[in-house]
């Protein structure tokens, strides 16, 4: 699984992405949630996705070719980033266009900081995904920054909030890019999607 991972292209809009001829899995989350670190951990490549202490590092739709058979897509974060409102609005539109119109997209992994109580911005984003029929899974990051118990408690809180509006909950994963926690579960889940 993930034997080869190659950076392919960064696109400013969904219609400039590579031909949608391969199965595609996207990663998104709030700025600074640890997305690039998670992608690097999953692919076993230290610098595949560029990590930064500054929120808003990813500003384009980044495609990585995995094992010559599918695309891993790194999307710009939503929410806070030190840039103008005009830029933020343009990113939001670019992300929405990609998520709604990209026919080869199979699932979006939405990254959530496991240290926080459920945040309005994350809940609004996944509600939007649900309303637009975009399949997603939730990945709780930075589990090493607190006890595993605390991370699981915050995941449970998130589930409780979601159960008020959702008949069916998406898959949930608890991860740490530092320790590799969750890598096996996510890679097996992706494998099962590829096989189906």
CATH number of the domain residue 148 falls in: 3.40.50.300
Structural domain tally of the chain? 1
Q: Which residues contact 100 (CB under 8 A, 6 or more apart)?
A: 132, 134
- CA 22 to chain CA centroid, Å, is 18
Evaluate whether 122 touches 30 at the Cβ level (below 8 Å).
yes
pLDDT tens digit sequence for 41-70: 999 988 888 765 555 556 789 999 999 999
pLDDT reading at 90 higher than 80 = no
80 torsion bin: left (phi>0), alpha (psi -120 to 50), beta (else): beta
Residue 25 forms beta bridges with which residues?
72, 107
**pLDDT, tens digit (0-9, with 9 covering 90-100), for 106-162:** 999 999 999 999 999 999 999 999 999 999 999 999 999 998 889 899 999 999 999
The answer to whether the beta carbons of residues 189 and 3 sit under 8 Å apart is: no
Q: What confidence score (pLDDT) does residue 57 get?
A: 53
pTM of the model: 0.92
Q: Which residue range(s) make up the domain with 68?
A: 5-195
* The dihedral formed by the CA atoms of 65, 38, 101 and 7, expressed in degrees to the nearest 10: -30
Please give the Cα distance from 118 to 156 (Å, whole number): 10
Quote the CA–CA distance of 139 and 149 in Å, as a whole number. 16
Angle among Cα 9, 13, 121 to the nearest 5 degrees reads 105
Question: What pLDDT is attached to residue 174?
Answer: 95
């Amino acid at each position: 699984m993930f034997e080869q991972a190659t950076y392919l292209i960064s696109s400013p809009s969904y219609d400039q992405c590579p031909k949608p001829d391969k199965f595609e899995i996207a990663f998104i989350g709030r700025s600074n949630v640890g997305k690039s670190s998670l992608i690097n951990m999953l692919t076993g490549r230290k610098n595949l996705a560029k990590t930064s202490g500054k929120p808003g590092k990813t500003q384009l739709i980044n495609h990585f070719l995995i094992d010559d058979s599918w695309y891993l897509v790194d999307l710009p974060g939503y929410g806070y980033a030190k840039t103008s409102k005009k830029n933020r609005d343009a990113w939001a539109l670019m992300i929405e266009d990609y998520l709604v119109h990209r026919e080869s997209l199979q699932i979006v992994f939405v990254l959530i900081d496991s240290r926080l109580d459920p945040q309005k911005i994350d809940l609004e984003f996944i509600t939007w995904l649900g309303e637009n029929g975009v399949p997603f899974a939730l990945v709780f990051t930075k589990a090493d920054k607190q006890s595993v118990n605390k991370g699981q408690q915050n995941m449970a809180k998130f589930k409780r909030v979601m159960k008020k509006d959702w008949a069916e909950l998406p898959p949930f994963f608890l991860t740490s890019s530092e320790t590799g926690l969750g890598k096996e579960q996510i890679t097996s889940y992706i494998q099962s999607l590829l096989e189906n």
